[in-house]
Amino acid sequence: MEKVTIIGAGLAGCEAAWQIAKRNIMVDLYEMKSIKRNDIQHLDTFAELVCSNSLRSNVLTNAVGLLKQELRSIGSLIMESADANALPAGSALAVDRTNFSQYITDKIRNHPLIHVIDQEVETIPEGIVVIACGPLVEGKLAHQLQQLCGNDAFHFYDAVAPIVSYDSINMDVAYRKSRYDKGDGDYINCPFDKDQFDAFYQALMEAPKVEGHESIDQMIFFDGCMPFEEMARRGVKTLLFGPMKPVGLIDPRTGKRPYAVVQLRQDDAAGSLYNIVGFQTRLTWSAQKQIVHMIPGLENAQIVRYGVMHRNTYINSAVLLDATYALKSHPHWFVAGQISGVEGYVESCASGALAGINAALIARNMEPVVLPSSTMMGAMAHYITHANPHYFQPMNANFGLLEMDLTIPKNKRKEAAVAQALAQITVLNSL
Ligand SMILES: Cc1cc2nc3c(=O)[nH]c(=O)nc-3n(C[C@H](O)[C@H](O)[C@H](O)COP(=O)(O)OP(=O)(O)OC[C@H]3O[C@@H](n4cnc5c(N)ncnc54)[C@H](O)[C@@H]3O)c2cc1C
């Protein structure tokens, strides 16, 4: 039986490798990190979460919550690791990023059917291939992809948020609380009064940014990843109704709602690191230090990882892929992960799962599967391959994509759709 080659041991590549090996097919998994890392990567281990440590909502009636549950039902390695390395984060699933990545690396490296090759792939090989090189792809592979996709290769910009050490947070000012007390005080909140906020806003507007090849007005940002200072540039309210929203966060010391709040979320199992929620930035490092130190409670915060911004590449799947994640021009080459135009950690993993299963089916001389759009995994694959190609942008899981039974009353429709999706997804376990 033919083996499958995978390029990239990220979220998509690891999940693809796992699903293929589960189906008794041999995998060659190429990963270049131990030889060459990019400026966003900090670990040598696989499936690195490059920015937030949150895999977002864990609630079933939330679209990404449903996607996670679908992945759990098909024995996803990424979800197994996320659940094993979960941290307190209210209704979200946040993980210790180092342990999460190490767990996956150990499982992959120790799997008898997965052969890891620590090498950079410069040319897509012949045979059955899952291209899961991620949105930060560079060098000769990026060049080949560009040639393969022509004018249908795009990019946008994505930024990561700084992380601070817990023991440098002033807990005489900051306080623990989950919004509306949903959760056990999983977040640390830094409260601003109006004067503090105005001074912070002013400094933020004046702070120097790292300039790239494109000016800020030429750059395309994805809404959920927009740099904090760019949100600020759109007006004070963008912050006060966005990442600095104070509602549901009454300060227990004053009994009052602060004017604005910056939230911090636990980043490691030991609770020694916290990331600043929604504070993804491209400010220069010295400016980040100045701005972070203006946050009440973070006056002396030690920044252990600074925010950076990166070009994020994706292809126009609406033109190039079919709903099995195969390239129409090369039906044995699958494209999975963020580069396929799905957006987010869980979505990348889900596309890797489906691309991997289909690669395994081809290796067995069987027909690849198209999932129904009444499953979230199927709905994502359907969306990216049937969207309007002229306006194609990466897409998060959401209920707008899911096919639902419109005859069911509105107040019961979502729950029925979730039940149906979870029943249907198990078909993958028989393949
Ligand atoms: C700056 C930034 C911040 C982001 N923040 C978030 C966030 O907070 N939350 C969220 O849900 N999503 C975020 N995303 C989006 C997305 O979820 C992540 O990019 C995610 O890691 C995508 O998974 P992936 O498997 O497609 O790619 P990756 O996880 O990037 O994995 C690709 C792997 O392929 C390897 N590789 C690349 N080229 C080669 C080659 N030629 N040969 C061998 N190996 C190669 C890389 O080293 C890497 O390990 C962010 C993206 C970027 C760029």
Going residue by residue through the chain (431 aa), what tens digit of pLDDT does each one get? 799 999 999 999 999 999 999 999 999 999 999 999 987 899 999 999 998 899 999 999 999 999 999 999 999 999 999 999 999 998 899 999 999 999 999 999 999 999 999 999 999 999 999 999 999 999 999 999 999 998 887 777 778 889 999 999 999 999 999 998 887 788 999 999 999 999 999 999 999 888 766 666 666 776 667 889 999 999 999 999 999 999 999 999 999 999 999 999 998 888 888 999 999 998 998 999 999 999 999 999 999 888 888 778 899 999 999 999 999 999 999 999 999 999 999 999 999 999 999 999 999 999 999 999 999 999 999 999 998 888 788 888 999 899 999 899 999 999 999 999 999 999 999 99
Same domain, yes or no: 201 and 224: yes
- For atom 49 of ligand 1, the residue with the nearest CA is 10
Same domain? For 193 and 296 the reply is: yes
Domain end position, chosen among 252, 281, 307: 307
pLDDT in tens, 33-50: 999 998 789 999 999 999
49 CA from centroid of ligand 1 (Å)? 8
Give 385 Cα–ligand 1 centroid separation in angstroms.
21
Domain finish residue from 291, 307, 323: 307
Nearest ligand 1 atom, CA 48:
29
Q: How far is the CA of 37 from the centre of ligand 1 (A)?
A: 12
For residue 13, the enclosing domain spans 4-154+312-430
| Distance in Å, CA 31 to ligand 1 centroid | 12
Distance 198 CA to ligand 1 centre (A): 36
Whether residues 9 and 39 fall in one domain: yes
Shared domain for 138 and 23, answered yes or no, is: yes
Amino acid at 124: I
Ligand 1 atom closest to Cα of 30? 43
- Look up the CATH number of the domain holding residue 213: 2.40.30
- Structural domain ending residue among the three candidates 307, 332, 348: 307
Answer yes or no: is the C-beta of 93 below 6 A from any ligand 1 atom. Answer: no
Question: Is the distance from the beta carbon of residue 12 to the nearest atom of ligand 1 less than 6 Å?
Answer: yes
Task: Please tell me whether residues 285 and 241 are part of one structural domain.
Answer: yes
Question: Which domain CATH number covers 144?
Answer: 3.50.50.60
Is 291 in the same domain as 180? yes
E strands present in 64-173 = 86-87, 92-95, 114-117, 128-131, 153-159, 163-165
If asked whether residues 264 and 376 sit together in one domain, one would say no
Q: Long-range contact list for 205-214, CB < 8 A, 24+ apart?
A: 205/229, 205/232, 205/233, 207/283, 207/284, 207/287, 207/290, 207/291, 208/283, 208/284, 208/287, 209/282, 209/283, 209/284, 209/287, 210/282, 210/283, 210/284, 210/308, 210/309, 212/157, 212/309, 212/311
Domain shared by 187 and 101, yes or no: no
Residues 373 and 321 in one domain: yes
The predicted-structure confidence for 146-181, as pLDDT tens digits, reads as follows 999 988 877 777 788 899 999 999 999 999 999 988
Q: What is the pLDDT of residues 393-428, one digit of tens each?
A: 888 899 989 999 989 999 999 999 999 999 999 999
Q: 100 and 186 share a domain?
A: no
Number of domains present in the structure of the chain: 2
Domain check: are 20 and 40 in the same one?
A: yes
- Judge if 325 and 406 occupy the same domain: yes
For the beta carbon of residue 301, count every other beta carbon within 10 angstroms. Answer: 25
